[in-house]
Amino acid sequence: MKFQIAAADTGSYGFTLVGDDGQVIATGRQYADKATALAVVAEMMREVDSAAVEDRTEPTEPAAAPPSRTVDGEPDLARIGRSGIPPV
């Protein structure tokens, strides 16, 4: 892998992380000067092996049970918000 530093037509600098196969892995935002872009790359190089993985594919809390929609087997329209009148 390697970081590629490039200048934009606007005069800003950015970086791209490219894999050994030439595929772009990540692209950084644009920075006002080259020194800042290089400093960000240096920081990423230092911190990458201490990076944690956060799995956001699984819900963190179990889904809440839906509210009861029946009273004694009959629909409770007041409880589900369709009417303000209690069930008969």
Tell me the C-alpha distance between 31 and 34, whole Å: 7
SS3 75: strand
DSSP assigned state of 40: H
Whether this model's pTM surpasses 0.75: no
What is the domain partition of the chain in residue ranges? Answer: 2-49
- Which backbone phi and psi does 39 adopt, to 5 degrees? -65, -40
Measured in whole angstroms, the distance separating CA 77 from the mean position of its chain's CA atoms is 39
How buried is residue 33: exposed, middle or buried, by Cβ count under 10 Å (0-12/13-18/19+)? exposed
What are the pLDDT tens digits along the chain (88 aa)?
899 999 999 999 999 999 999 999 999 999 999 999 999 999 988 887 777 877 788 776 766 766 666 666 666 555 555 555 555 5
Return the CATH number of 2-49, one of 3.40.50.970, 3.10.20.520, 3.30.160.160, 3.40.50.2300: 3.30.160.160
